Amino acid sequence: MPDFDIRKETQATLDLYGPGDVARGALTAVRLVEKGLRMVQLYYSKGDPWDAHADIMAHKVNAKNSDQAFAAVIKDLKSRGLWEDTLVVCGSEFGRTPVREVGGIGSGVKRGRDHNPFGFTMWLAGGAVKGGTIYGATDDFGFKAIEKPAHVHDIHATILYLMGIDHKKLTYRYSGRDFRLTDVSGNVLHDILA
């Protein structure tokens, strides 16, 4: 069993990742990759703090808590020779609307943003993807993808492809309907691959 006592890390490593739960989780994730684990998921925090219906400004704190730790993941993977074989994915199943969400009287919603599945950003990094590539674009308001829209199923198909799994071969029929990991949809985004 790997040792995840971060008190044994050098001060330089702890400083690289920064303070807080996100930093500890990111450091642990890299150590799991270093030990050979093929898939690691780092969940941001309890309580879903990114679900900012009441106040979008909460994202400022969340981003600050994530920025240093995520940059450290990339730097640490590179320094350990793991970058070329590791895919880092940061995202969610939806974004936020570019307009303010206003609740009813007494709801407390003043600066919130609602869910937006039509146009949002995810980033992928690592040896398997082209660095510095921007794929797609939204309209001028940031509401809807209008150039090369990619569905979450496309991202899933691409991740599976990079893991050596053909998502189309995992289709099975159950109760009169076809199922697979990408919900019988999704295309590999070959344009973003290195």
- Flag whether pLDDT at 106 surpasses 70: no
Q: For the chain, what is the largest distance between any 2 Cα atoms, rounded to a whole number of angstroms?
A: 57
- Tens-place pLDDT, residues 54-86: 788 888 888 888 999 999 999 999 999 999 999
Residue 188, pLDDT above cutoff 90: yes
- 144, 119 Cβ separation under 8 angstroms: yes
- Are 109 and 99 a contacting pair, CB within 8 Å? no
pLDDT at 62: 87
Q: Tell whether the model's pLDDT for residue 110 goes beyond 80.
A: no
For residues 96 and 111, the answer to whether their CB atoms sit within 8 Å is no
The amino acid occupying position 160 is L
Q: Give the Cα separation of 108 and 99 in Å (integer).
A: 17
pLDDT tens for residues 141-155?
999 999 999 998 999
Residue of 83 and 114 predicted with greater confidence: 83
Check residue 54 and give its pLDDT: 77
Residue 2 has a pLDDT of: 54
Whether the pLDDT of residue 11 is over 90: the answer is: yes
Please give the pLDDT value at position 77: 97
